Amino acid sequence: MAEIGKVNTIHDLSSSDATVILSLNNAHAKETSSLDNVSLKLLLDMAFYTRGIDRGATAFLIALDHNASYGSPNFVWFKATRESFVYIDRVIVASVARGLGIARFLYEDLFAAAIQAGHDRVVCEVNIEPPNLASEAFHAAMGFDGIGQGSIHNGTKTVRYFEKTLR
């Protein structure tokens, strides 16, 4: 695991990192959703941004831009309400590495990549039922504003939609 003082390199991730990404992702499927090899490959193929720490073993972030052909109900909500955006599909930091600033480090890298590509906003959602209070607090601290909410997966989850304007 990376220590924050040693977290100075974010790596591009690819399908060659799939085993490691799947392991971390599926250990935290409650907060995001589970993936298998096929769904991960599809996600990586359409991603705007796929980067991580320790090849995805310590942390990773996968984001798509508004041009992706993605069927996630949350992504579809943003497509219906925003003309252009970068959508954070999932960001996961290993439990033992939380609180070290790694998510902030990845988000700042994503913001720079989004600006460089000409995007003016980054969007995401956070579970509010079941609650994910740490994620809500993190996104507020990163300058995201709540812009709506939705019920997904036949009412088993409620999410709050967030947006951060970059310019």
Looking at the structure of the chain, the number of domains it has is: 1
- Judge whether 31 lies within some domain: yes
22 pLDDT exceeds 50?
yes
- Judge whether 131 lies within some domain: no
Tell me what pLDDT residue 143 has: 97
- Judge whether 67 lies within some domain: yes
Q: What is d(CA 155, CA 88) in angstroms, rounded to the nearest whole number?
A: 22
Q: What is the pTM of this model?
A: 0.92
Tell me what pLDDT residue 8 has: 62
Q: What is the pLDDT of residues 116-157, one digit of tens each?
A: 999 999 999 999 988 889 899 999 999 999 999 999 888 888
H or E element, residue 148: strand 145-152
Please give the distance of CA 92 from its chain centroid, rounded to a whole number.
7
Q: 147-156 contacts: CB < 8 A, separation 24 or more?
A: 147/81, 148/77, 148/81, 150/73, 150/74, 150/77, 150/125, 152/73, 152/74, 153/73
The enclosing domain of 106 has a CATH number of 3.40.630.30
- Judge whether 138 lies within some domain: no
pLDDT band at 106 (very low <50, low <70, confident <90, very high): very high
- The residue among 66, 161, 77, 47 whose CA lies nearest residue 118 is 66
- Judge whether 142 lies within some domain: no
- Separation in Å, CA 105 to CA 37, 56, 63, 154: 27, 14, 15, 34
**By the 8 A CB rule, do 47 and 28 touch?**
no
Rounded to 5°, the CA angle 116-159-14 comes to 45
The amino acid that residue 89 corresponds to is D
Give residue for tokens 């392991």.
23
The mean per-residue pLDDT over the stretch 13-32 comes to 89
- Judge whether 128 lies within some domain: no
Tell me what pLDDT residue 6 has: 52
Q: What is the pLDDT of residues 32-88, one digit of tens each?
A: 788 989 999 999 999 999 999 999 999 999 999 999 999 999 999 999 999 999 999
- Judge whether 58 lies within some domain: yes
Number of residues that this document lists for the chain: 167
**CB atoms inside a 10 Å sphere around CB 146:** 14
- Judge whether 42 lies within some domain: yes
Domain holding 59, by residue range, is 4-122
